[in-house]
């Protein structure tokens, strides 16, 4: 009897869960489907869901107009590069904050977060001038630097909350055993911190991948990532829904697939110290 | 072989190698159909000029404008050729930001340009940008719907005639809307249409002392007419429709009348894209009681920033993309109906073009009628037809456009919109130092 | 146990990040502050001059300013409301065992990976368009008048789009927190005859409070500067109904090219952001301290 009830609840939740999941995912699914339609079918009423003439013409069109490969490479280099550089800077800082906290640690942390609230568009001109003088306009290095700085507060904070969960006693014990600082980091801290670092890394790759203000405004031809690629499809003349869908699918597919595959690692550390 | 010839040979090889060392031009373009076509045909250019490579930055209009303006104003030097509008050319030329185009190819034939367009891209008698395509505005309507509704649209309609026809064509049960007009806020979106429309009602933006004129009856008449007509015969969501949205509506057969840029004519008559291709009629931009057809004039042009190191190559490219041979190249590959319109007299004298493009005659008529130096019935201190050629206009026009878009959406009254427009324009003009 | 030496080491380890961030903040900020006292329009070079607080005067007396401030708060508040409540409900559902749970979870987190520009374009053109959009078609199929989203409910439409993007983030954090809830405690409460709602209210919600705080903090930081969604869909209109502070500054900076005015706006926004940050720190500080 209890079993029957359990199965029934399970079935109910299956229906609810799948319905919600489908609804939330629907805009992406719809974009994906539309990318295989002809422009005429894309705008047809009533909408065509599955039974239409599937075509790859939009993808051909998009590829013939812009070099997708180059944009993807730039996106990868910029998002991964800025995340790694960010981790390099943040791991020591977060470690120090978590294990040798002072009275001002919290303030420094909050100050770091508050730098993220500065409206980018207000400082565009100053930064553009700096970039021009240093020859950083339209370079990957320049963008890596900017995105590192933009995401650094989040990285530090995520790592800090994660490191704080690591029980201090273990470190003390290691220290008592005469472990040096380097050893402490390599043998004790790292294994415990890896999940947190991994999910910080993943989250920041996603954030950097989707950053659309600086990546658009500081690049021209050489360093332009996928956000610039999309900007050339946003409202061209004539019917454009299918081409827009194809370009959108191409722009989000890499990060979506990466996100799906690394979902477990992403979630594991995505707690911001919220889980006791 | 003497040592000298060997040396000479070596030197010339070096020189040749130096020549062969490719120069790369970075070209910023807007993502509309004609420009995308140019990008596809650019192989023709690189074949003829193997020492020049092309890098393309294709962006949506607003993004493009903000990118190139920031870059040229800060002398960032990221682009060698920029696509700019007739709004920018005089303002930038005055600042010395653009290279005067005196090194164009010998067969460029600047005298062949339509006079109105040539004026618009010249500053103090010199050409500062080369027009790629040009446009005015006109009425496009569905002949079949007009016939069904029992209305005729004359070649020179008045706004009242347009309104009557639009109302009769409307049948909301079949999603047929009598009229589609721009409503999306933006100086290049709804304000282009509304400024031209206001011109045709006898209104003006500023009097000779730069005092804004939104408190005058002409503006009220124009804006009231617009909102009333759109409420009765316009499509749902009109306040977020710009050129593209309306184009899509017209092409799918949902609009009876659409008044917009002449360049749309080739899209709505293209059977590959448009369901109503064989049913489109054309007429001049309507008048509203005064002899003024709006004076809409626009062109997308290729300009070269003053600081570029690659002036020679850039001018070569500009010549290639805007001369008569390019027109022929497009015609041979894509047909005459698809050549970039509205820049050259020779195109409109070409019988083949007239045959392929039923809208050619009326486009030319509209373009020749546009006078951007005297855009309004009453005197004004500015030039420009559907815009005001001062640097502040992008901001002011967009802010006013937001007000008018709200009036269209029905969230504020026409009087309120005009009042806010008057206030904010006065503020900005005072800040800009125009009003003392 | 923190000796002088470890403290020095700690300082050394923190310094690269802190110094770089400080420079990243102070250099543009100083330049912005300097520009904000100038008449400086990019389109009119050569006319730069010191004009005192005129730029601030104009920015703060802009009739759009207070509306924009209100819109900013509405946008942040509305999105937080939807994502937190929706996130809790969704997390509760996803926490139950059911068939295909893993796949549903993948579907639910997907919107987080979509670029803001892309999602705004897709929602605007393919879903919310009042004539050709899917929502309009659904409405008509059931005999309703389609909603003209961006004219009738502009701010809500934008909140909806932004909430769709951030719902997965909230859900994930809340779900992780939920999974750490002690199952035995719940069962005990169930034995004691506590109903579903009282169990939720007295056990689950307090347990989630820290996670909710985190969601609010992180999302607020990002939501204060929502921009792409507005630019793509409404251009801040109709009227100024969807103009937020960021968009207002954008109009100064990239339409007017009024660097002076935009800088003044930027400084004002920094001050406002710091006020928000101050309250957030209070809130977080209380909730995250143990």
B300-309: pLDDT as tens digits: 999 999 988 8
Tokens of B225: 């007419």
C-alpha–C-alpha distance, residues C261 and C253, integer Å: 8
Do the Cβ atoms of B237 and C151 come within 8 Å?
A: yes
Residue with tokens 């014990």: A173
Chain A window 224-253: which residues touch B at a Cβ cutoff of 8 Å? 224, 228, 231-240
What integer pLDDT is reported at residue C87 of this predicted model?
94
Best B64, B67, B271, B310 residue to mutate vs chain A (most A CBs within 10 Å): B67
Any idea where the domains of chain B sit in the sequence?
13-128+298-356, 137-296+370-431
Is pLDDT of B1 > 60?
no
**Class level of CATH domain A67-268:** mainly alpha
**Largest interatomic CA distance in chain C:** 80
Q: Which residues of B touch A220 (CB under 8 A)?
A: 26, 28, 55, 57, 67, 71, 78-79
User: What are the structure tokens assigned to C157, written together?
Assistant: 């439409």
Question: Closest approach of chain C CAs to the CA of B240, in angstroms?
Answer: 7
Report the distance separating Cα B27 and Cα B113, nearest Å.
Answer: 23
**Cβ burial, residue B5 (10 Å; 0-12/13-18/19+):** exposed
Residue C69 lies in a domain: yes
* 3-state DSSP assignment of residue B218: helix
Q: How far apart are CA C104 and CA B366, in angstroms?
A: 58
CB-nearest partner of B394 from C45, C238, C255: C255
A46 contacts: CB under 8 Å, gap ≥ 6: C137, C141
Q: What does the pLDDT look like over B75-111, one tens digit per residue?
A: 888 999 999 999 999 999 999 999 999 888 888 989 9
Chain C interface includes B67 (CB < 8 A): no
Can you give the pTM of this predicted structure? Answer: 0.86
Inter-chain residue contact C113 with A255, CB threshold 8 Å: yes
Chain A with chain C: Cβ pairs closer than 8 A: 284
Q: Give ∠ CA A144-A147-A149 in degrees, rounded to 5.
A: 110
Reported as a single tens digit per residue, the pLDDT across A131-158 is 989 999 999 999 999 999 989 988 998 8
Which residues of chain C are within 8 Å of residue A251 when distances are taken between CB atoms?
A: 115, 118
In angstroms, the CA B153 to CA B143 distance is 9
The residues, any chain, with a CB within 8 Å of residue C249's CB and separated by 6 or more, are: A119, A121, A122, C262, C265, C266, C269
For B307, residues 6+ apart whose C-beta sits below 8 A from its C-beta are B75, B77
Per-residue model confidence (pLDDT) at position B14: 46
Q: Cβ separation of C164 and A255 shorter than 8 Å?
A: no
Element (H, E) at B28: strand B23-30
Query: DSSP per residue over chain C, as a string?
Result: ---HHHHHHHHHHHHHHHHHHHHHHHHHHHHHHHHTTEE-BTTSTT--EE-TTHHHHHHHH-HHHHHHHHHHHHHHHHHHHHHHHHHHHHHHHHHS--TTHHHHHHHHHGGGGS-HHHHHHHIIIIIS-TTTSHHHHHHHHTTPPPP-HHHHSHHHHHHHHHHHHHHHHHHHHHHHHHHTS-HHHHHHHHHTT--HHHHIIIIIHHHHHHHHHHHHHHHHHHHTT--HHHHHHTTT-STTTT--HHHHHHIIIIIS-BHHHHHHHHHHHHHHHHHHHHHHHHHHHHHH--
H or E segment to which residue B356 belongs: helix B351-356
Q: Is the pLDDT of residue C10 over 90?
A: no
Closest CA–CA distance from residue C122 to any residue of chain B (Å):
14
C150: nearest CB among B240, B399, B402: B240
Q: Which of the pair, B271 or B304, is modelled with greater confidence?
A: B304
- Chain C within 8 Å of B186 (Cβ-Cβ)? yes
Instruction: Give the architecture (CATH level 2) of B13-128+298-356.
Output: 3-Layer(aba) Sandwich (3.40)
CA distance A177 to A170: 11
Count CB pairs under 8 A between chains A and B: 90
Tell me how far the alpha carbon of residue B155 is from its chain's centroid: 23
Give B212's DSSP letter: B
Q: Which of A202, B192, B123 is nearest to C169 (CA)?
A: A202
Asked if C87 reaches chain B (Cβ–Cβ under 8 Å), the answer is no
CATH number at residue C249: 1.10.3720.10
Chain C residues closer than 8 Å to B412 by CB: 239
Radius of gyration of chain A from its Cα atoms, rounded to whole angstroms: 24
Contact C224, A118 (CB under 8 A): no
| Contact assignment for B402 to C243 by CB distance below 8 Å | yes
Chain C contact present for B69, CB below 8 A:
yes
Is C176 inside a domain boundary? yes
Partner-chain contact C134 A30, CB within 8 Å: yes
* Nearest C-alpha neighbor of A158 from the set A213, A113, A124: A113
C3 touches chain B (CB under 8 A): no
The pLDDT > 70 percentage for chain C reads 95
Q: How far apart are CA A16 and CA A18, in angstroms?
A: 6
**Residue A121 DSSP label:** G
Facing C96 at nearest CB: one of A13, A27, A126? A13
| Secondary structure letter of residue B411 according to DSSP | S
C41 domain residue, yes or no: no
Taking phi over 0 as left and psi of -120 to 50 as alpha, with beta for the rest, B96 belongs to: left
C-alpha closest to that of C64 among C219, C220, C255: C255
If one counts the domains in chain C, the total is 1
Secondary structure (3-state) at B343: coil
Closest CA to B28 of B75, B92, B72, B93: B72
Query: Domain limits at C222?
Result: 62-257
Does the structural domain B137-296+370-431 have CATH classification 3.30.365.10?
no
pLDDT confidence of residue A235:
66
Q: Is 50 exceeded by the pLDDT of residue B18? A: no
- With CB atoms and an 8 Å threshold, state whether C44 touches B398: no
Q: How far apart are CA C104 and CA A21, in angstroms?
A: 5
Does residue A222 belong to the interface with chain B, where contact is any CB pair within 8 Å? yes
Q: Cα Rg for chain C, rounded, in angstroms?
A: 24
Beta strands B298-303 and B81-85 are: antiparallel
Residue contact C256–B392, C-beta within 8 A: yes
Cβ B212 vs Cβ B167: under 8 Å: no
Prediction ipTM score: 0.87
Band of the pLDDT at A115, cuts 50, 70, 90?
confident
C221 touches chain B (CB under 8 A): no
Asked if B78's CB is within 8 angstroms of A137's CB, the reply is yes
| Structure token digits, residue A163 | 């490191």
Which of the residue ranges A78-87, A231-240, B258-267, C68-77 would you say has the lowest mean pLDDT? A231-240
Rounded to a whole number of angstroms, the distance from the CA of A93 to the nearest CA of chain B is: 35
Kindly state whether residue C276 falls inside one of the protein's structural domains: no
C-beta separation of A127 from A116 below 8 A: no
Q: Which of B342, B12, B293, B25 is nearest to B159 (CA)?
A: B293
Give residue limits of the domains in chain A: 2-60, 67-268
B327 touches chain C (CB under 8 A): no
The string of pLDDT tens digits covering residues C111-143 is: 999 999 899 989 988 888 887 788 988 988 888
Residue closest to A41 by CA, chosen among A31, A54, A28 = A54
């Amino acid at each position: 009897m209890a079993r029957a009830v359990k199965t029934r609840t399970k079935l109910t939740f299956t229906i609810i869960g799948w319905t919600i999941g489908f609804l939330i995912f629907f805009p992406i699914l719809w974009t994906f489907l539309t990318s295989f339609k002809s422009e005429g079918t894309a705008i047809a009423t009533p909408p065509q869901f599955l039974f239409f003439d599937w075509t790859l013409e939009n993808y051909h069109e998009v590829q013939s107009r812009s070099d997708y490969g180059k944009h993807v490479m730039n996106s990868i280099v910029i998002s991964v590069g800025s995340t790694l550089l960010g981790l390099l800077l943040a791991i020591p800082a977060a470690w120090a904050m978590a294990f040798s906290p002072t009275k001002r640690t919290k303030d420094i942390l909050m100050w770091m977060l508050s730098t993220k609230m500065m409206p980018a568009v207000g400082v565009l001109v100053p930064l553009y001038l700096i970039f021009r003088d240093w020859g950083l306009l339209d370079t990957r290095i320049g963008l890596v630097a900017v995105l590192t700085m933009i995401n650094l507060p989040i990285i530090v904070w995520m790592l800090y909350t994660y490191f704080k969960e690591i029980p201090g006693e273990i470190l003390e014990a290691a220290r008592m055993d005469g472990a040096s600082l380097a050893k402490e980091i390599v043998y004790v801290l790292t294994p415990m911190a890896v999940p947190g670092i991994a999910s910080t890394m993943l989250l920041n790759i996603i954030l950097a991948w989707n950053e659309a203000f600086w990546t658009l405004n500081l690049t021209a031809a050489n360093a332009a990532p996928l956000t610039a690629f999309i900007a050339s499809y946003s409202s061209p003349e004539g019917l454009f829904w299918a081409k827009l869908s194809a370009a959108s699918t191409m722009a989000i597919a890499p990060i979506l697939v990466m996100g799906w595959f690394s979902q477990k690692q992403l979630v594991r550390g995505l707690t911001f110290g919220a889980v006791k | 072989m003497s040592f000298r010839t060997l040396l000479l040979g070596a030197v010339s090889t070096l020189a040749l190698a130096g020549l062969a060392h490719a120069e790369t031009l970075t070209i910023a373009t807007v993502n509309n159909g004609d420009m995308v076509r140019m990008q596809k045909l650019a192989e023709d250019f690189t074949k003829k000029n193997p020492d020049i490579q092309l890098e393309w930055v294709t962006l949506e209009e607003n993004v493009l404008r903000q990118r190139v303006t920031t870059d040229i104003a800060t002398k960032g030097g990221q682009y060698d050729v920029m696509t700019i509008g007739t709004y920018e050319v005089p303002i930038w030329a005055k600042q010395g930001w653009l290279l005067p185009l005196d090194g164009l190819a010998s067969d460029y034939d600047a005298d062949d340009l339509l006079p109105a367009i040539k004026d618009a891209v010249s500053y103090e008698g010199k050409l500062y940008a080369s027009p790629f395509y040009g446009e005015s505005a006109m009425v496009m309507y569905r002949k079949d719907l007009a016939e069904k509704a029992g209305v005729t649209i004359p070649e020179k309609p008045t706004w009242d005639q347009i309104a009557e026809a639009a109302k009769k064509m409307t049948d909301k049960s079949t999603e047929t809307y009598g009229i589609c007009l721009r409503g999306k806020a933006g100086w290049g979106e709804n304000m282009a249409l509304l400024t031209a429309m206001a011109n045709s009602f006898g209104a003006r933006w500023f009097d000779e002392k730069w005092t804004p004129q939104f408190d005058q009856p002409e503006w009220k008449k124009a804006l009231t007419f617009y909102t009333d007509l759109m409420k009765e015969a316009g499509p749902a969501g009109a306040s977020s429709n710009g050129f593209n949205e309306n184009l899509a509506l017209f092409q799918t057969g949902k609009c009876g009348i659409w008044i917009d840029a002449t360049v749309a004519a080739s899209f709505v008559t293209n059977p590959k894209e448009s369901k109503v291709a064989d049913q489109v009629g054309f007429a001049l931009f309507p008048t509203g009681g005064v002899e003024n057809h709006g004076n809409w004039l626009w062109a997308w042009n290729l300009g070269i920033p003053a600081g570029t190191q690659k002036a020679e190559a850039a001018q070569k490219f500009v010549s290639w993309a805007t001369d008569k041979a390019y027109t022929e190249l497009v015609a041979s590959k894509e047909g005459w109906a698809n050549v970039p319109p509205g820049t050259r007299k020779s195109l409109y004298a070409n019988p083949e073009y007239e045959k392929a493009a039923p809208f050619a005659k009326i486009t030319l008529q509209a373009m020749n009628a546009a006078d951007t130096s005297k855009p309004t019935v009453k005197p004004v201190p500015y030039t420009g037809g559907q815009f005001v050629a001062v640097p502040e206009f992008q901001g002011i026009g967009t802010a006013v456009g937001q007000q008018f878009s709200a009036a269209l959406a029905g969230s504020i009254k026409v009087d309120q919109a005009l009042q806010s427009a008057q206030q904010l324009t006065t503020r900005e003009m005072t800040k800009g130092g125009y009003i003392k | 146990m923190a000796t002088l030496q470890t403290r020095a080491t700690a300082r050394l380890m923190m310094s690269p990040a802190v110094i770089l961030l400080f420079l990243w903040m102070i250099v543009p900020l100083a330049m912005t502050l300097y520009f904000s006292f100038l008449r400086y329009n990019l389109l009119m070079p050569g006319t730069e001059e010191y004009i005192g607080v005129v730029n601030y005067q104009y920015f703060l007396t802009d009739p759009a300013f207070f509306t924009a401030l209100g819109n900013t708060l509405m946008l942040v508040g509305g999105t937080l409301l939807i994502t937190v409540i929706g996130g809790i409900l969704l997390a509760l559902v996803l926490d139950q065992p059911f068939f295909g749970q893993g796949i549903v979870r993948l579907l639910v987190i997907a919107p987080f990976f979509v670029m803001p520009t892309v999602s705004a374009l897709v929602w605007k053109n393919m879903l919310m368009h009042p004539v050709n959009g899917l929502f309009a078609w659904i409405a008509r199929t059931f005999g309703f008048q389609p909603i003209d989203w961006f004219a009738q409910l502009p701010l809500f439409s934008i909140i909806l789009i932004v909430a769709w993007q951030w719902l997965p983030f909230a859900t994930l954090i809340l779900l992780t927190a939920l999974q750490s809830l002690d199952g035995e405690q719940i069962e005990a409460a169930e034995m004691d005859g506590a109903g579903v709602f009282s169990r939720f209210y007295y056990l689950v919600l307090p347990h989630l409070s820290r996670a909710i705080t985190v969601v609010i903090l992180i999302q607020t930081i990002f939501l204060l500067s929502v921009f792409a969604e507005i630019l793509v869909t409404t251009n801040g209109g109709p009227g100024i109904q969807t103009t937020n502070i960021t968009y207002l500054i954008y109009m100064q900076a990239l339409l007017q090219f009024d660097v002076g005015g935009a800088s003044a706006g930027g400084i004002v926004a920094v001050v406002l952001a710091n006020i928000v940050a101050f309250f957030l720190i209070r809130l977080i500080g209380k909730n995250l301290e143990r």
